[in-house]
Amino acid sequence: MLIDIIAGARPNFIKIGPIIAAIEEQTKNGIDIHYRLVHTGQHYDKKMSGDFFEQLNIPAPHHNLEVGSGTQAEQTARIMVGYEKLLLEKPCDLCIVVGDVTSTMACSIAAKKINNIKVAHVEGGIRSGDWTMPEEINRIVTDSISDYFFTTSEVANRNLRNMGVTDERIFFVGNTMIDTLYKQMPRFSRPALWDTFHLEAQGYIIMTLHRPANVDNKDNLRELINAIVTSSRGMPLVFPVHPRTAKMLENTGITASNLHVIEPLGYLEFNYLVQNARAVITDSGGITEEATVMSIPCMTLRDSTERPETCTVGTNELLGTNPASIAPAFERLFSGQWKKGAIPELWDGHTASRIVAQIINLFSLK
């Protein structure tokens, strides 16, 4: 059996690593299961792509569609054309897509429209309810045509049932991003900037921002960062800047003595900094999950989340996008009132092997 594994953007690389490792293990066991890794090229900078393959020992992709950046439609179209060509040359038996980026949606459509190739959506069923986010459209479209769903939560299972998906197609398996987190934890690595910025454990905040609603407008971005800086009581703020945010940030002209703007970090360095931080402030999805598992207070600058368990079970809290909500949250953090949180069900580091076991069963592989 040939499985295509699709990855295009930073969070995808972290999610596919454990799935590939679990497939390779079963191939070694003599099971007829093989994969082809397809990188769409949605993210292409070394710091957004290549570094993750190196650090996480992910094999080099068999194909890179090299689609690069563009509008939503341009990227979607280029990915579909590139992947369709590959499938016409050599079809696969199952296409695995992960997460909610444009590559996820585009490849699921291309696969489904060629001879009805089976599609499995890892992290299927999650919903923010916010249709202004491109990711929400990607989730809805992908889930509406996927055959199998490997889910991270009971809420996701419920969302799928509500859209008419029957239980035999839903597999509640946990979170492959957390498989990577547990596996790599012993390798987390203190970056050189620790000494440069005189950081101390629990004595700094790590922040990331890349959602269009927060970063595509200069005034919004300036107000958010100003509010963070003025609420932080001079505590160092380490800010690895996503390429989407970089240019706009320059235009804001913001500087502060405790604001350390740096390039995106490698996975091992970034998560070392999360693990030792006083708190995380972010608009990422994946980072709220990692902060939850590492029990680090997490403030999310969004009005909604597709990962409610990071709030109901974990350490995450939605502050919204109004800068006025930042100061009171920092007050609660500094006065020791942040919730402790727990780890969501099945986020135990063994999700990928559960996924592959289900595939072996579904396709009666020997």
Binds ligand UD1 by CB under 6 A, chosen from 63, 134, 169, 183: 134
> Which residues are near ligand UDP by CB under 6 A?
10-11, 14, 177, 208, 210, 240, 264-265, 267, 270-271, 284-287, 290
Q: Which residue, 149 or 272, is less far from ligand UDP as judged by CB?
A: 272
Q: How far is the CB of 27 from ligand UDP (least distance, A)?
A: 26
Residue 42 binds which entry of ligand UD1, ligand UDP, none, CB below 5-8 Å type-dependent: ligand UD1
Which one of 81-89, 97-105, 251-259, 269-277 is the stretch in contact with ligand UD1 (CB under 6 A)?
97-105
Residue 340 and residue 295 in contact, taking contact as beta carbons nearer than 8 Å = yes
Residue 149 binds which entry of ligand UDP, ligand UD1, none, CB below 5-8 Å type-dependent: none
CA distance readout (Å), 91 to 94, 116, 151, 251, 252: 9, 11, 26, 46, 48
Q: How far is the CB of 211 from ligand UDP (least distance, A)?
A: 8
- Describe the strand order of the beta sheet including 118-122 as a list of residue ranges: 63-64, 34-39, 2-7, 94-98, 118-122, 148-151, 170-172
Quickly list H helices, 38-192: 50-55, 72-89, 102-113, 134-145, 154-162, 176-184
Q: How far is the CB of 363 from ligand UD1 (least distance, A)?
A: 29
Q: Residue 164 CB: number of other CB atoms within 10 A?
A: 7
Q: How far is CA 130 from the centre of its chain?
A: 17
Q: Which residue, 246 or 362, is less far from ligand UD1 as judged by CB?
A: 246
Q: Which residue, 44 or 150, is less far from ligand UD1 as judged by CB?
A: 44
Bridge partners of 153, per DSSP, are none
- Which backbone phi and psi does 296 adopt, to 5 degrees? -105, 130
Annotated catalytic residue 210: yes
Residue 110 and residue 89 in contact, taking contact as beta carbons nearer than 8 Å = no
Q: Enumerate residues 187-216 that contact ligand UD1 by CB under 6 A.
A: 210
Which one of 77-85, 163-171, 236-244, 331-339 is the stretch in contact with ligand UD1 (CB under 6 A)?
236-244
Q: How far is the CB of 282 from ligand UD1 (least distance, A)?
A: 11
Q: How far is the CB of 244 from ligand UD1 (least distance, A)?
A: 4
Pairwise CA distance, residues 107 & 110, whole Å:
5
Is residue 42 part of the contact set for ligand UD1 (CB under 6 A)? yes
The single residue of 39, 43, 121, 210 carrying the catalytic annotation is 210
Q: Which residue has the tokens 């007829």?
A: 32
Q: Enumerate residues 241-260 that contact ligand UD1 by CB under 6 A.
A: 242-244
Is residue 43 part of the contact set for ligand UD1 (CB under 6 A)? yes
DSSP assignment string, 311-352: HHTSSEEE--S-GGGHHHHHHHHHTT------PPTT-SS-HH
Handedness of CA 111, 117, 122, 128 (dihedral sign): positive
Question: Site residues (CB under 6 A) for ligand UD1?
Answer: 9-11, 42-45, 48, 69, 100-102, 134-135, 210, 242-244
Q: Which residues are catalytic?
A: 210
